[in-house]
Each structure stands twice: as C-alpha cells, then as structure tokens.
Amino acid sequence: MTLSEAKRLLARVQQEIVAAQARDHAVRRPYCSHCGGACRVKDYRDHAVATLFGQVTVRLPRFRCAACGGIEAGVDWPAHCRSTPELDRLQAHLCAVMTYRTAADMLAQMFPVDAGKHHETLRRHTLKVGEALGECAAIRPEAAASAIVVTLDSTFIRSCAEGERHLEVRVGNVETPSGGRQVFGAVAKAGTDIRALICRTLDAVGRTEDTALTAFTDGCPGLRRILAHAGVAEPPILDWFHVAMRLQHLKQIANGLSDDDPERAEARAVILGEVERLHWRIWNGKAQDAQISIDRIRAVMHHYQGEPDGRRSIAPSRKLWTALHALDGYLTSQSAWLVNYAERHRAGLRIGTAITEGTANFLVNRRMNKSQQMCWSRRGADLLLQVRCAVYNGTLGSGFGQKF
Ligand SMILES: [Zn+2]
C-alpha cells in the first residue's frame, strides 16, 4: 500500500469500528442524575472527535428522564470531548521537541490526522496541555531519597512583546544518588511559580525531612534567593559547569594568539601555561590564588600591544584581555560559593549539573533559541516549557485522564 492508501484505509476502518462502539454504548441507559429515574432516548446528535487517524463522527443519543424530564448524556461520556487523549499527547510531544510548523507538517505527512494540521491550532492545543500540566500534583515515589542535588540556572529567549527584548527563563534539575532525575523550568513573571515548582519536583523524586539537599547555581543572586525560598537551607555552590565554560573560552582565545615573532611566541607559551594553572587552582579550591595567574598573564600582554583587528574579527589579544577581565570579576563576585571541586570529585560528590551541555542548553536553547527569528510571548514560552519538561521527565501522558 502507498502511504495515502494506508491513511484512507485506517480512517475508514476506524470510522466503522467507532460507529459499532457508539451503537453498543447507546444501548446503555443512564439513570437520571436528579431523581434517579429511568431515562429514555430523546434524540440523536452527531459528535465530531479528532483522532490520530482522522476525525470520526459519533452518533450519540441524548436521554430524557421519564419522571422529571431532565436531560442526560450517555453513560460516562466525557463532557466537551473534541479529541482523543492520544492525539493531544502526541501533538504536545512533537511540539515540545520541534517547532509548531515542523510538527504540523510531520503530523500531516505521517498520519491521517485532519485536526490540528495548522501550526496555530497545534500551538493552541499544546499550550492547553501545558496549562493542564501545571495543575497536576506531584506523584511521590515510594522510596525516599537520602540526598538530592538541585541545580538552578537561567537563560534568555527573545521576546516578541513590544518594548521588551528578552525573557528570563529559569531552568534546573534535581538528581538523586539512585539515578532519579527530573527537570523543571519556568519563564520569569509568567504565572508558573518557580518556588512551588522546585518543591513539587523535589517531592517527585522523594524528598523527606531527612533528605540532604545540595544546590548548584550559575552564580546569579536572584537564583540563590529562589533556592532559599524553596527550602534549600545550605548555601548553593557555584556550578563547575559555568566555571569550566569560562575557562574553556579563555583557553580557546589563548590558543588563537599569534606567535609570529620570538617574543610573542614566548608570551603565548607563558599565557597558555598560566591558563592551565588558573584552571588547576580553581579546580583545587585555590581560587584565592587565581589573581596570581591573571596578573602573570597581564604582565606579558604588552607584547601584543597594537595588534591590529582582523577584517572580520577582533584581535585575539584584545579578546583575551576582555575574557580575562570578565573571569576576574566573576571569580571575585563568586568567591564565597567556590569550593574545592577536586576534593568533592574524588569523594564521589557532585560538582555541578550532570547534563554535560548544561540544563539551559538542553532544555531551552535547543528548542527555543534555535534561530534568531524565533520570539516568544511570556505565557506561550512558559507553557511550552512545562510540556517540554514533562516530555523529558516521562510524565507527559501519565497524568491525562482516561477519557474513554
Ligand atoms: Zn429525573
């Protein structure tokens, strides 16, 4: 069969099956919800229900109570049922991992589905799912977690509202020693309470009063406050991931330095060596000595003085100067939250997020920052993020009521 033949066949088969199911269902007579009296068929109405295999029309009876005249729907028929839970779930899942437009195109290509073919419809449906997810309570696991690591991070996405360029997105994850992991995220000032969300996520992996909580952040004071309000008493540690990213950046720039004369070659060797030492110092909890390395690098920078910018890029030495200044400021402002990462690592303790590319990249940037043209409404981004988290947590679908 060709795909189009298969789609037609599926749609027809389903229409026949559903018609038979509806006839069986119509035989069951409800009792009046007001007086408990017996009901008789009043008339029949057509109901359109969207499914993954095309829209089906179900002919359903309405009933009237013989005693009091009250109108009843069929036994256990869900109110306002326009689509199957499976269709809702799959649409939301696809939209969480790809753009609304691509998801709509893919659904139209693969399935006989004829509802939600338009990307705007798909968006509306997905946000509705996001809303429903916000109302779900956490399902506590049977086993309590002895320790939980919480990571909280922030990133930005482009806003499409006028007079507002970016929206702040807070994302994070919780992990237990037994390998349980859940991600969470919310757009700032969008309706989802991040503190409640963190508490709910902690509950979902088995937090109790005796659980030891360790937190990591990217160093933003706002995030530290959120964690404190969410009940994480211990001061959060600066996530090694963020330190390592900055050091990596510094190394790349240092590698790009020119060595076109002996003096510069020597200076470059000194700088590369000091960047390595800087890395070692911070990793080993000797961040207070970082200044020594930074000063040594600065001392040889004069060899690059007057280096011209490239046609399309800034001179590497100028980039290094800027990156060094930024790192210096970062280390100074974060000194209170730096730890001996090497010691923790040797003891088998966490030094940051377990997601190698960082939670923000993994959760937000991959879907919501992919292209410059993508911009977001505060609420739309927040609700989509709820769906995206549910997809990764494996909770999308499990909380959906069994409509049928
Ligand atoms: Zn009645």
Tell me the three-class secondary structure of 273-313, residue by residue: HHHHHHHHHHHCCCHHHHHHHHHHHHHHHHHHCCCCCCCCC
Sequence-distant (6+) residues with CB within 8 A of 133 are: 386, 387, 390, 395, 396, 399
Taking a 5 Å cut-off on Cβ, the residues next to ion ligand 1 are 32, 34-35, 37, 65, 67-68, 70
CA distance 64 to 73: 9
Q: Is the pTM of this model over 0.95?
A: no
**Percentages of the chain per state (helix, strand, coil), in multiples of 5:** 50, 15, 35
**What would the DSSP string read from start to end of 40-54?**
EEEEEEEEEEEETTE
Quick check: 188 and 215 in contact, CB under 8 A? no
Task: Report CA(64)–ligand 1 centroid distance (Å).
Answer: 8
* Helices assigned H by DSSP within 55-117: 85-97, 100-110
pLDDT band at 372 (very low <50, low <70, confident <90, very high): low
Count helices and strands in the chain by DSSP H and E runs: 14, 8
| pLDDT > 60? residue 5 | yes
pLDDT band at 172 (very low <50, low <70, confident <90, very high): very high
Per-residue exposure over 4-19, b if at least 16 CB sit within 10 Å of its own CB, e if not: eeebeebbeebbeebe
pLDDT > 90 fraction of the chain, expressed in percent and rounded? 34
Task: Report CA(39)–ligand 1 centroid distance (Å).
Answer: 8
**What would the DSSP string read from start to end of 154-171?**
EEEEEB-STT--EEEEEE
Tokens 């109302």 sit at which residue? 135
Task: Report CA(40)–ligand 1 centroid distance (Å).
Answer: 11
Q: What is the mean pLDDT of residues 190-195?
A: 90
Q: Edge to edge, what strands does the sheet with 54-65 contain?
A: 39-51, 54-65, 71-72
Mean pLDDT, the chain, integer: 87
Task: Report CA(48)–ligand 1 centroid distance (Å).
Answer: 28
Task: Report CA(21)–ligand 1 centroid distance (Å).
Answer: 26
User: Is the model more confident about 138 or about 120?
Assistant: 120
Quick check: 123 and 150 in contact, CB under 8 A? no
Tokens encoding 193: 């309470």
Task: Report CA(83)–ligand 1 centroid distance (Å).
Answer: 30
Tokens encoding 364: 């937000």
Closest to 114 in 3D by CA, of 140, 87, 139, 93: 87
Sequence-distant (6+) residues with CB within 8 A of 104 are: 116, 117, 118, 119, 121, 122
Task: Report CA(82)–ligand 1 centroid distance (Å).
Answer: 27
For residue range 251-296, list pLDDT tens digits in order: 999 988 888 888 888 888 999 999 999 999 999 998 888 888 888 9
Sign of the dihedral defined by the CA atoms of residues 297, 302, 305, 307, in that order: negative
Q: What is the pLDDT of residue 403?
A: 45
DSSP for residue 113:
-
For residue range 79-132, list pLDDT tens digits in order: 778 888 888 889 999 999 999 999 999 988 888 877 657 889 899 999 999 998
DSSP for residue 355:
S
Tokens encoding 152: 């909280």
Q: What is the pLDDT of residue 177?
A: 86
Task: Report CA(67)–ligand 1 centroid distance (Å).
Answer: 5
Task: Report CA(74)–ligand 1 centroid distance (Å).
Answer: 14
Ramachandran assignment for 109, one of left (phi > 0), alpha (psi -120 to 50 degrees), beta (any other):
alpha
Amino acid at 104: A
Q: What is the pLDDT of residue 152?
A: 92
CA distance 250 to 366: 24
Q: What is the mean pLDDT of residues 180-189?
A: 92
Task: Report CA(22)–ligand 1 centroid distance (Å).
Answer: 24
Q: What is the pLDDT of residue 400?
A: 47
Q: What is the pLDDT of residue 132?
A: 87
Q: What is the mean pLDDT of residues 217-244?
A: 88
Task: Report CA(36)–ligand 1 centroid distance (Å).
Answer: 6
Q: What is the mean pLDDT of residues 6-19?
A: 90
Q: What is the mean pLDDT of residues 349-355?
A: 80
Phi, psi of 65 (to 5 degrees): -75, 130
User: Is the model more confident about 312 or about 246?
Assistant: 246
| pLDDT > 50? residue 401 | no
CA distance 58 to 21: 9
* Helices assigned H by DSSP within 28-99: 85-97
Closest to 317 in 3D by CA, of 250, 257, 246, 249: 257
pLDDT > 70 fraction of the chain, expressed in percent and rounded? 97
Task: Report CA(286)–ligand 1 centroid distance (Å).
Answer: 80
pLDDT band at 383 (very low <50, low <70, confident <90, very high): very high
User: Is the model more confident about 158 or about 77?
Assistant: 158
3 state DSSP class of 200: helix
| pLDDT > 60? residue 402 | no
Quick check: 341 and 282 in contact, CB under 8 A? yes
